[in-house]
Structure 1
Amino acid sequence: MKIGQIDEGDGLLRNSQRSVRDVDENAGVACRPGQPVPDYYVTLIEHLPEPAVLVAPDASIKVMNARFSQVSALRPGDPLKSVFAGKSWEEIEPVFRAARAGVLSSFDRPLFHEGVCLFAKGASLTPLRFHGAEQAHVLIQFDGAVEDRPPRLPAITPGGHEAAWLGHFPDKAIFIGGTNCAETVWKMLQRETGGRVPFAEVEQCLIRSRAGDLAILHMAPVEPNTDMEEGPTLVWEVRLVPFGSPGEEPRPVMAIARGEVPCPVEIEENRRLAALDSLTELANRRAFLRFLKRALSSADRPRSSRDLAVLYIDLDEFKKVNDIGGHEAGDTMLLKVAACLRHIAGPGEIAARIGGDEFALALSVKSKAEVTRRASEILDGLDRIRVEVGSRVFTIGASVGAAYLDRRQEVENVDLAQILKLADAACLKGKRLGGRTAHVITVDSQQLPNQAREVTHRPIESSHFQTGDLALYCLPVVCLKRNDICGEEILLRIGGEQEQEEYSARSLVSAAERDGYIAQVDSWTLDQVMDAASERTGRRWLTVNVSVLSAADPVFRRVLAYRLRMNPLLASRLCLEISERDFLREPSTVESFFHFIKGFGCQTAIDDFSGNWPLLARVARIRPDWIKLDAGLVRGIESDEVKAQLLDVLANALDDLGSRVIAKHVESADAAALLKTMKIAAAQGYHYGRPQAWPCAPARQDR
Structure 2
Amino acid sequence: MASIKNVVQDAGAVPLDLRGPVDDAFLTAFQISSIRMIYYDTDMIIRDVNRAFLENDDFTRADVIGRPMRTVMGDAIWERARPAVEAALRGEPQVTTTWGLRRATRERLMRIRHEPVFDAAGTVTGLIVLIEDTTELFELENRVSMHEEVFRQSTEAMSIVGLDFRFIWSNPATAKTWGYTAEEIIGKRLVDVIGERGFLERAKPHLDRCFSGEQVEYQFKHDFANGDIVYFELNCVPFRSSTGEVIAAAVTRRDVTSATMMKAELLRQARQDALTGLANRYALEEELEMRVAQCAATFADSDVRLSALVLVDLDGFKVVNDIAGHSAGDALLKQVADLLRTIDKVDMIARLGGDEFALVLSACTAAKVEAACQTIISGLETTPFDWDGARYSVRASVGVAMLDEEMFEATVPSIYDVINWADRACRLAKERGGSRMAVYHAADTEIQARFEETGNLRVVQDALLNGRFELYAMPIAPIDGVSGQYFEVLLRIVGTDGQMLVPAAFISAAERHQMMVPVDKWVVRNVLERLRTAPADLQLTVNLSGQSVGDPEFRDFLVAALDERPEVHGRLAFEITETSAVRSMETARDLIKALRGRGCGIVLDDFGSGLSSFGYLRKFDVDMLKIDGNIIGDVANDPVQQTIVAGIVAVAAAMDVRVVAEFVEDEQTLETLRDLGVSLVQGYHVGRPAAWSETFGR
The question of a shared fold, defined as TM-score above 0.5 by the shorter chain, is answered with no
TM-score (norm 1): 0.36
Bigger RCO of structures 1 and 2 (CA < 8 A, at least 6 apart): 1
